[in-house]
C-alpha cells in the first residue's frame, strides 16, 4: 500500500512538471510567433514607408495608369518616355472628307493615322525635377483646336504650344511622403482616362473623358500625407486652356486615395471663369471615380481569367452668371448650362501571363449650352458655336467593346467597336463637313492644289461687288448625323 501511494505521488508530480513544461513551451513558441509576426508587420510597414507614393503595390490593372514596371532608358538623372500611337478607323457613315468629328483620340476616317508620337521623359537631379513630352501627329491638332483662349491677343499660342503635351519643372520637398511644386503644362486626369491611350482600357473615350480637360497650364502642388494618399492643388490659366479667358485664374484640387491594392478613389474639383469675355459667369465642376479589382489570380500560370476590374465615373458641373448682352447662364431651367455625365467600364485579363484583355463599357452625357463638347470642324464649326447658347439641348450616349493583345509590357494591339449617339446632328455624315452635299470632301481642287485661289468650299455668306455681305446662293450645308458606329484598329508601343 505504501509503495502504491508513493507511485501515485510520483505520478502526480510528473504530471505537474509535464504541465509546467508544456505551459512554458507553449508560452515560448507563442512569444516567438508574436515576435515573428511583429517582425513581419514591421518589415511590411518599412517597405511601404520606403515605397513611392501610390506605388506600394501592383497597380498595373488601373484604367488610366501605366502598366509598365520598367523603362528601357532609366538612369540617375533621366527616365525616358516614348510612345508611338497609330490607328485605322472606319465609320458606317463613310464621310467623303475622311474626318472623325466629336473625338480627341481619332482624326481621320478610312486612313492609317499617326495619332501621336510622344518623345521625352523625366529629369531628376537632387531635389529638382522636370518633365518634357513633345507630341507629333494628329493629336497635336485635334486637342489645341478646342482652346479658344489661345486666340486672345497675339503670338499664335496654338502653334507655340501644340507640340508640347507636357512641359514643367519643379522642386521636391522631403516632407511627409513628399511634396512637389511644379510650374508649366501638366496632365489633369479629370475624366479618369489618360491622355496616353497606352494606359487606358479602351481607345475612344466615353463622353465624360473626351469632353473634360486633358491638360492644365499653370502651377500645381502635390502633397503625399501617406503612400496611399495624394492631395493636389491647381492655380491655372483655365479649363484646358493655354491662355486665360478672363482675369481670374482657374482654381482646383484633386484627392486620390488607394487604401489597398484593389481600390482607387479619385475626386477632382474645379472653379473658374471660362466663358470668353464674360468674367461674371462662373464655372464649377466635380469629377469622381472609383476603380475596383474584384478578381485577382495574377500569380496563377497557364490559361484562364487572371483579373477582373471595373471603373465608374460621375461628373457634375454648371455655369452661372450673366454675360455681356444680358445673356443669363444658370445651373438648371430655361437657361441651363450644365454638364451631367457618367461612364462605367469592366475589364477582364485572360490567357497565359494575362496578355489578353477584354473591355466593355460606355456612358451618358447631357450638356445643355454645349460648353464642354468637342466642336465639329470644317463648315460645321461656326453654326455649332452659334447654337451653343444657354438652354440649347445636347445629350447622348456611347457604348464600346475592346479586345487587346499585349505580347509584352511595351506594346498593345487593339481592336475596338464603338457606337455613339447624340440627340442633335453631331457626327460626320456621308457628305462630310468640309464641302457638304455636292462637294468631294477636299478643301482645295486636287488638280490645282498649290493654287491658293482654288478653294472649293462655298461659305454661307459672300461679299458682293458692292462690298456688302450677302447670302451665298451657291452655299451647300455641311452634313452632320446623329449617330456613328465605327471599328478601330490600333497599335501602341511605349518604351
Contacting residues for 478 by C-beta, under 8 A, at least 6 apart:
376, 378, 379, 380, 383, 431, 432, 433, 434, 436
Longest pairwise C-alpha distance within the chain:
143
Bigger pLDDT: 117 vs 381: 117
pLDDT tens-digit readout, 319-340: 999 999 999 999 999 999 999 9
Q: Mean pLDDT over residues 280-306, rounded?
A: 96
The sign of the CA dihedral 419, 420, 425, 426 is negative
**Cβ(208)–Cβ(112) below 8 Å:** no
Q: Look at residue 258 and tell me whether its pLDDT is greater than 60.
A: yes
Q: Which of 21-25, 85-89, 107-111, 384-388 has the lowest mean pLDDT?
A: 21-25
Per-residue confidence (pLDDT) for residue 457, from 0 to 100: 54
CA–CA dist 456, 44 (Å, integer): 69
pLDDT band at 171 (very low <50, low <70, confident <90, very high): very high
Domain covering 51-434+478-494 assigned CATH 2.40.160.10 in the classification: yes
The residue ranking higher by pLDDT, 418 or 382, is 418
- Average pLDDT of the residues of the chain: 89
Distance separating alpha carbons of residues 68 and 194, to the nearest angstrom: 14
Q: Chain-centre distance of CA 79, in angstroms? A: 22
Mean pLDDT of 398-404: 99
Rg (CA), the chain: 30
Residue 15 has pLDDT above 80, yes or no: no
Give the start-to-end residue ranges of the domains of the chain.
Answer: 51-434+478-494
pLDDT of residue 438: 64
Using one digit for the tens of pLDDT, what is the confidence trace for 65-117?
Answer: 999 998 889 999 999 999 999 999 999 999 999 999 999 999 999 999 999 99
- pLDDT at residue 222 greater than cutoff 70: yes
What is the per-residue pLDDT across 30-70, written as a single tens digit (0 to 9) for each? Answer: 555 565 555 554 554 454 556 789 999 999 999 999 999 98
- Mean pLDDT over 251-258 rounds to 98
Between the CA of residue 371 and those of 208, 375, 385, what are the distances in Å? 13, 9, 9
**Average pLDDT, integer, range 405-425:** 98
How do residues 223-242 score in pLDDT, each as one tens digit? 999 999 999 999 999 999 99
Q: Report the pLDDT value the prediction gives residue 312, as an integer from 0 to 100.
A: 99
pLDDT at residue number 11: 47
Distance CA 472, CA 430 (A): 23
Q: How is residue 218 written as a grid cell? A: 499653370
Say whether pLDDT at 28 is over 70: no
| pLDDT at 459 (0 to 100) | 64
* For the chain, percent of residues with pLDDT exceeding 70: 85
More confident site: 365 or 439: 365
Report pLDDT for 311. 98
User: What's 487's DSSP letter?
Assistant: E
pLDDT at residue 29 above 90?
A: no
**What percentage of the chain reaches a pLDDT higher than 90?**
73
Which cell is 4 given?
502504491
Please say whether the beta carbons of 392 and 359 come within 8 A. Answer: no
Residue 44: the pLDDT is 45
- The residue with cell 505520478 is 11
Amino acid at each position: 500500500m505504501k509503495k502504491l501511494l508513493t507511485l501515485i505521488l510520483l505520478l502526480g508530480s510528473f504530471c505537474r512538471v509535464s504541465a509546467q513544461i508544456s505551459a512554458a513551451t507553449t508560452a515560448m513558441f507563442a512569444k516567438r510567433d508574436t515576435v515573428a509576426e511583429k517582425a513581419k508587420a514591421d518589415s511590411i510597414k518599412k517597405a511601404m514607408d520606403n515605397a513611392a507614393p501610390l506605388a506600394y503595390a501592383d497597380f498595373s490593372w488601373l484604367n488610366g495608369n501605366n502598366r509598365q514596371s520598367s523603362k528601357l532608358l532609366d538612369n540617375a538623372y533621366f527616365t525616358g518616355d516614348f510612345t508611338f500611337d497609330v490607328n485605322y478607323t472606319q465609320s458606317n457613315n463613310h464621310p467623303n472628307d475622311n474626318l472623325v468629328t466629336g473625338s480627341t483620340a481619332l482624326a481621320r476616317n478610312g486612313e492609317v493615322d499617326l495619332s501621336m508620337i510622344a518623345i521625352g521623359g523625366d529629369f531628376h537631379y537632387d531635389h529638382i525635377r522636370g518633365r518634357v513630352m513633345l507630341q507629333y501627329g494628329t493629336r497635336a491638332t485635334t486637342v489645341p483646336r478646342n482652346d479658344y483662349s489661345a486666340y486672345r491677343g497675339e503670338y499664335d499660342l496654338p502653334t507655340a504650344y501644340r507640340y508640347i503635351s507636357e512641359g514643367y519643372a519643379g522642386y521636391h520637398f522631403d516632407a511627409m511622403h513628399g511634396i512637389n511644386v511644379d510650374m508649366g503644362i501638366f496632365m489633369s486626369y479629370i475624366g479618369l482616362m489618360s491622355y496616353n491611350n497606352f494606359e487606358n482600357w479602351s481607345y475612344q473615350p466615353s463622353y465624360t473623358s473626351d469632353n473634360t480637360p486633358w491638360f492644365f497650364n499653370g502651377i500645381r502642388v502635390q502633397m503625399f500625407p501617406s503612400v496611399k494618399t495624394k492631395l493636389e492643388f491647381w492655380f491655372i490659366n483655365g479649363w484646358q486652356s493655354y491662355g486665360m479667358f478672363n482675369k481670374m485664374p482657374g482654381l482646383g484640387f484633386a484627392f486620390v486615395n488607394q487604401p489597398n491594392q484593389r481600390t482607387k478613389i479619385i475626386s477632382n474639383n474645379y472653379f473658374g471663369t471660362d466663358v470668353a469675355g464674360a468674367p461674371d459667369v462662373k464655372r464649377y465642376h466635380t469629377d469622381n471615380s472609383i476603380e475596383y479589382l474584384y478578381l485577382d489570380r495574377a500569380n496563377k500560370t497557364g490559361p484562364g481569367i487572371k483579373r477582373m476590374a471595373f471603373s465608374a465615373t460621375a461628373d457634375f458641373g454648371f455655369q452661372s452668371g450673366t454675360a455681356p448682352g444680358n445673356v443669363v447662364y444658370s445651373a438648371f431651367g430655361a437657361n441651363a448650362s450644365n454638364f451631367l455625365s457618367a461612364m462605367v467600364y469592366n475589364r477582364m485579363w485572360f490567357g497565359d501571363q494575362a496578355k489578353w484583355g477584354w473591355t466593355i463599357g460606355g456612358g451618358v452625357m447631357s450638356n445643355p449650352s454645349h460648353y464642354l463638347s468637342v466642336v465639329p470642324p470644317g463648315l460645321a464649326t461656326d453654326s455649332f458655336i452659334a447654337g451653343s447658347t444657354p438652354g440649347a439641348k445636347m445629350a447622348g450616349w456611347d457604348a464600346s467593346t475592346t479586345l487587346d493583345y499585349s505580347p509584352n509590357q511595351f506594346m498593345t494591339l487593339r481592336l475596338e467597336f464603338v457606337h455613339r449617339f447624340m440627340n442633335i446632328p453631331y457626327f460626320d455624315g456621308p457628305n462630310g463637313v468640309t464641302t457638304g452635299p455636292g462637294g468631294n470632301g477636299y478643301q482645295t481642287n486636287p488638280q490645282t492644289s498649290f493654287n491658293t485661289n482654288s478653294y472649293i468650299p462655298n461659305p454661307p455668306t459672300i461679299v458682293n461687288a458692292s462690298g456688302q455681305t450677302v447670302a451665298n446662293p451657291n452655299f451647300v450645308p455641311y452634313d452632320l448625323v446623329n449617330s456613328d458606329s465605327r471599328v478601330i484598329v490600333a497599335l501602341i508601343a511605349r518604351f
